[in-house]
Amino acid sequence: METDQAGNLWATLRGKSDRAMLLGGHMDSVPNGGWLDGCLNVLGALEVLRRIASEGTPPVTVRLVDWADEEGARFGRSLFGSSAASGTMNPDDLRNLADKEGIKLVDAISKYGVNLDTAKQSGSQLKTAAAYLELHIEQGPVLESMNLPLGVVLGTFGVERHAIKFTGQSAHAGSTPMDKRRDAFGAAAKLGLEIREIAKRHGGVCTVGSVITKPGIVTAVVGQCDMLLDQRHLSAEELAKMLQEAKDASERFAKEENVGVEWNRIWQIQPILFDKHLVELAEEAVMETARVSHRLPSGPLHDAAEVSRAGIPTIMLFVQSLRGLSHTKEENTKEEHLSMSVQALDRLATKAMNWIVEAGK
């Protein structure tokens, strides 16, 4: 057992080869979160590790990892441990983050022996990695709606997140005739509906999560409207099209309402596709366990996305979430499905070890 420079916890079972199969996920949760995201992935992986250990020395080294602070619930920055290890973390982005009490991230992690400036040295843990497997609850309604216990994850959605500002003219609600208004909310409302059509056309998801009107009183036409838009797709090309269509639509609506519009990118990440061969092996493992399988993308990001970005062949299995709920106490999965999910991970682990040996990876 060891803890690396980013606070990730590792358990290693030495095999005949140094090439390592990694299994794991995260143990942290969110305030008022459920019991499965992410305990299931680490504890499921632990059971697989125990099974492999009980059979003597495995052909490859098997390592269980519990990534530090996946959720980012306290400081608003997700995937701390895995992004440090993958090398995509920029310490300067995190240096000034503070929690609700004003305690800085740098001070909080130092209590656990983690130094922001050396956290990326945890990347050395990935040097021998030949594959990474992660089991997770789906956190959405797709598998349940198809009456399927398990699914194979193709990758994680790319994300475009923007702040959109419509600027019109605040004016008296009683004295300003309808055809003389420059109503910033009018344009925003049209865009709010249009992004749903854009998402449908391209098979992605688009969400307006926040709309703030100013001055925000019932007796004034809205002079300024600030909107937050989140767009996600598994294809980079389709994601770019969804963004362009939303921009074009916003300009059209701004013109119609005689207001201005301005876009600012808040955050962006490219789609991350998991390893093709591991997708096949995962499908075999799911078929052998449940006799039926389904391939689906992941909307939420996961540690697996970071490991994949580090160039390590990666795959995830999803197990059905009841009512598609997660990040709430109601999060749950049928016990028989939980048990099947760990069995499928176990089968996949054996297949992945054989693949690492055969492919000389």
Applying CB under 5 A, which residues contact Zn ion? 37-38
Cβ closest to Zn ion, residue 58 vs residue 297: 297
Does residue 31 sit in helix, strand or coil?
A: coil
In eight-state DSSP terms, residue 104 is B
In what helix (H) or strand (E) does residue 346 lie, and over which residues does it extend? helix 335-358
Q: Give the nearest distance from C-beta 5 to Zn ion in angstroms.
A: 22
**Secondary structure E strands in the chain:** 2-3, 9-13, 17-26, 60-67, 129-137, 150-156, 158-167, 171-172, 205-214, 220-221, 224-233, 260-269, 272-273, 295-298, 314-319
Tell me the C-alpha distance between 150 and 337, whole Å: 8
Cβ closest to Zn ion, residue 138 vs residue 283: 138
Q: Give the nearest distance from C-beta 241 to Zn ion in angstroms.
A: 29
Cβ closest to Zn ion, residue 37 vs residue 183: 37
Cβ closest to Zn ion, residue 38 vs residue 313: 38
Cβ closest to Zn ion, residue 131 vs residue 304: 304
List the one residue out of 134, 72, 141 whose CA is nearest residue 325.
141
Q: Give the nearest distance from C-beta 243 to Zn ion in angstroms.
A: 27
Q: Give the nearest distance from C-beta 274 to Zn ion in angstroms.
A: 16
| Residue nearest Zn ion by beta-carbon distance | 38
Q: Give the nearest distance from C-beta 302 to Zn ion in angstroms.
A: 6
Cβ closest to Zn ion, residue 225 vs residue 282: 282
Three-point CA angle 316, 36, 350, nearest 5°: 35
Judging by beta carbons within 10 Å of its beta carbon (0-12, 13-18, 19+), is residue 20 exposed, middle or buried?
A: buried
Q: Give the nearest distance from C-beta 42 to Zn ion in angstroms.
A: 10
Residue pair 135/333 in contact by the 8 Å Cβ criterion: no
